[in-house]
Chains A and B, each alone.
Chain A
Amino acid sequence: MQGKASVVLAISLAVCFMVGSPLCLGAEPIKIAGIFALTGRAAHIGTAQRDAVLIAIDEVNEQGGINGRKLEMVMEDTESSPTKAVMALKKILEAEDVVAIIGPTLTGTAMAMRGFIEQERIPAFMHSGGDVILKAPLKKDDPTSRPKWTFKSPYKAADAMGKICEYMRKQGISKIGFLYSNEGFGKDGLKNVKVQAPKYGVEVVAEEAFEPKDVDMTAQLTRMNAKGVDGIIAWTVGPAMGIIPKNVKQLGIKAPLFECHGAGDPIFWKVAGEAGEGVMMPSTKIVVADQLPDSDPQKKKIQAYVKAYREKFNREPGTMVAYGADAAYIVVDAIKKVGADRAKLRDAIENTQGYLGISGIYNITPEDHNGLSMKDIVMIKATKGGWELMD
């Protein structure tokens, strides 16, 4: 192994020399690291995000790259494991001269990588849903020690939850049950609903959990229904998105069903089938691009992206695709502005103002490394195998 390591060392030294030599300069591509969960339990999300990022990068390259330099994504797989994610990060940072990181997919992997990203001083635009990545302090004894180099593209789960509760108030729904998958994403939702629901006069009378790979949730729904709820929120991405509507229908529960901001995806229809009819959820605008009013500033951009996505992958994009694409676009935009320098890039990303993205309009500030707000979220309803824009 020592021999192998020294060979790798020699090669990487040689590569460094070549990169540094003026002969190669200019033709050398700008490298971005893409770290996704391509295998393991979150593979279904990670692969979709990878595809989304690839489109953005292809687009830039087709337009001739940035100042004549092509973009290249160096990809690593976290295998959905925090340890492997840290290893992937170190591997990529050493083997390649990357200017920024896009990903990872899971909140757990993001949390494990976060500290090392701060140490390495490289901007990272993450796709993970959990708000905790930005909220949790880096040091236990210093609550103000927020990550400087970490950003995230999906809007805050708190805002998505707020959007649902706001809609519920309008519909006169006041007693709800909250059903969540028993892992990071679901638990995050539980914390948010406890904060958001009271703001809109909605009371959570039942909280029930299920394991992400469970095959049946009728027990939880029966218990919930017995408490007389008039609305149900199901917080999960995965097969349960489809199983829950089926179970609700089986039990004849009349209370309307809401799902999370990850459900607006063609997979929803694949797993829910006819039972999916009428389920409501917050979403990015990408799935209802054609229904947006022409006055919507994002409409053209989203339609163009959806077209490119359909052509490349021959399928409809889901809501999660938007997050992947935006992370890539914002990074690319920043590179265009300040060049391929990590520190300058970080500052540029942090000063992204009014960026017209696919998920929404990003206003990133030092205090808010996400930059989206509740305005960027729309409520949609699953109708006839597609989506209907509400309000």
Chain B
Amino acid sequence: MDFSQQIAQYLITGLSIGAIYAIVAMGFNIIHNATGIVNFAQCEFISLGGMSMYTLVVLLKIPILISFFISMATVSLIGALMERGPIRYARSKEIIILIFLTIGLSGTLRGSAQQIWGTDNVGVPAFSGEAPIHLPVGATILPQHIWVFGITFLVMLVLRHFFRNTILGKAMRATAVNRQAAALVGVSVDHMVLLSFALSGALGAVAGMIIAPIATASYDTGIMLGLKGFAAAILGGYGNFAGAILGGVILGVLESLGAGLLSSQYKDATAFLVLLFVLFLKPTGIMGYGESERV
């Protein structure tokens, strides 16, 4: 294997990891765009997506396509319930309180998932076989990676369109900027926030489901992915969907190039170091706009 082939493989690997970070990052963005908070329970949405896929496909033998939508709906419902219950009834609407409330809720969800599914990692079958595909540049990928790329890109396009061009999407953005003003012009703020939690629940589940055949699933897979996804969102510019893709891809490629060319022990350290430098040079992320509010 010559050097250019190695590089090609590093890039392909980086892109496929990056696509996953990106889809997680978009889940963070949705809730941020409607409420301004960081939803740490996003991590649990990922785990729940993977585990419910396992339950449906492996244990109950339901076809993958149907399972996919059932899982999405289930986790979306959990997201909605989270908003309907604790988030809505929280006495304070201060952003930092809500952020830590999501940490509390994420602990509750994780603990429950551990009781339901146990602690073991489980595998989920790939959507369309596991025969490696050889690319002309000398790198190989799995069919599942193509699914990851495709779904991530599709999600990005749909969300971008939704937030830019539809009334509902604009209303959600307005809610994040100024709740009172949004309410004054007739936006149902409650519904927007509820919708954002349901949507990001669905998105978290999708992330968990498409990654499960590659990386296996367990009650706590979401923590590390969630952390990296958050980093990707910040790197790209928090709240920006194209930025999420960019951030995810940069982070993924940094990690795999770091592991392949520099040192695999320090690959995460390298990635975070670059992230810090980018933030110091561009304090709102690569594609972010100014953020005036304070956590």
| Chain A residues, CB < 8 A from B218 | 44, 239
Chain B positions within 8 Å of A41 at CB level: 220
Chain A contacts of B114 at CB under 8 A? Answer: 39, 43
**A249 CB to nearest chain B CB (Å):** 7
The 10 closest A-B pairs by CB, nearest first: A215-B215, A213-B224, A44-B119, A219-B256, A43-B119, A219-B259, A239-B121, A209-B265, A219-B260, A208-B264
Complex CA gap A60/B16 in Å reads: 53
> Can you list, as one digit per residue, whether each of A215-253 has a CB less than 8 Å from chain B (1) or not (0)?
110111011011000000000001100110010011110
Select the stretch in B93-101, B122-130, B197-205, B283-291 that faces chain A.
B122-130
- Judge if A312 is at the interface, Cβ distance under 8 Å: no
Please state if B215 and A216 are interface contacts (CB–CB under 8 Å).
yes
Q: Are A270 and B123 in contact (CB under 8 A)?
A: yes
When each residue 218-230 of chain B gets 1 if its CB lies under 8 Å from chain A and 0 otherwise, what string results? Answer: 1011011100000
Binary interface profile of A, 191-225, with partner B (CB < 8 Å = 1, else 0)?
Answer: 00000000000000000111101111011101101
Chain B contacts of A209 at CB under 8 A?
264-265
Tell whether, in the assembled complex, residue B140 and residue A250 are in contact, meaning their CB atoms are under 8 Å apart: yes
Set of chain B residues within 8 Å of A215, measured between Cβ atoms:
17, 20, 211, 214-215, 225
Binding site for B on A (CB under 8 A): 39, 41, 43-44, 46-47, 182, 208-211, 213-216, 218-220, 222-223, 225-226, 238-239, 242-243, 246, 249-252, 267, 270-275
Of the candidates B216, B220, B260, B268, the one whose C-beta lies within 8 Å of that of A222 is: B260
B256 — nearest CB in chain A belongs to which residue? A219
Question: What is the minimal beta-carbon distance from B108 to any residue of chain A, in angstroms?
Answer: 13
Q: List, in ascending order, chain A residues with CB within 8 A of B257's CB.
A: 219
Q: Determine chain B's interface SS by DSSP, over half rule.
A: helix
Question: Is the CB–CB distance between B216 and A210 below 8 Å?
Answer: no
Given the interface pairs A209-B264, A218-B13, A225-B1, the reply to whether A251 lies near B123 with Cβ below 8 Å is: no
B161-203 interface (Cβ within 8 A of A): none
Cβ-defined contact, A273 with B260, below 8 A: no
15 more A-B contacts (CB under 8 A) besides A239-B216, A250-B132, A251-B132? Answer: A44-B121, A47-B118, A209-B264, A213-B223, A216-B16, A216-B214, A216-B215, A219-B10, A219-B13, A222-B13, A238-B121, A239-B221, A250-B141, A267-B120, A270-B121
Task: Compute how far the CA of A242 lies from the CA of B125 in the bound complex, rounded to whole angstroms.
Answer: 13
Q: Which of B114, B130, B216, B220 has the most CB of A within 10 A?
A: B216
Contact call B224/A211, Cβ cutoff below 8 A? yes
Give the most central of A238, A246, A252: most B CB within 10 Å.
Answer: A246
Q: Which residues of A contact B111 (CB under 8 A)?
A: 39
In the complex, the answer to whether A242 meets B121 with C-beta atoms within 8 Å is yes
Residues of chain A with a CB closer than 8 A to B265's CB: 182, 209
Report the nearest B residue to A38, measured CB to CB.
B119
Distance in angstroms between the alpha carbons of A5 and B9 in the assembled complex: 61
Of the candidates B140, B216, B256, B268, the one whose C-beta lies within 8 Å of that of A251 is: B140
Number of interface residues of B (CB under 8 A): 43
A271 to B16, CA, bound (A): 19
B228 to chain A, nearest CB (A): 9
- The answer to whether A211 and B268 have CB atoms under 8 Å apart is yes
Q: Judge whether B105 is part of the interface by a CB distance below 8 angstroms.
A: no
Whether A219 contacts B9 in the complex (CB less than 8 A), given A242-B216, A252-B132, comes out as yes
Subset of 12 A-B contacts with CB under 8 Å: A46-B119, A182-B265, A215-B17, A215-B214, A216-B17, A219-B260, A222-B13, A223-B264, A249-B130, A251-B140, A273-B123, A273-B125
Give the chain B neighbours of A272 by CB distance below 8 A: 123
Query: Which residues of A lie under 8 Å from residue B74 when comparing CB positions?
Result: none
Identity of the chain A residue whose Cβ is nearest the Cβ of B3 in the assembled complex: A226
Cβ B123 vs Cβ A271 within 8 A: yes
Complex contact B214–A222 (CB within 8 A)? no
CB-based contact B6/A44 at 8 Å: no
Interface string of B261-277 (1 = CB under 8 A from A): 00011011000000000
Complex Cα distance, B216 from A271, in Å, reads 6
Chain B residues, CB < 8 A from A239: 121, 215-216, 218, 221
Q: A275 to B265, alpha carbons, bound, how many Å? A: 26
Q: Which residue of B lies closest to A266 (CB)?
A: B120
**A194 to chain B: closest CB distance in Å?**
15
Residues in chain A near residue B156, CB distance under 8 A: none
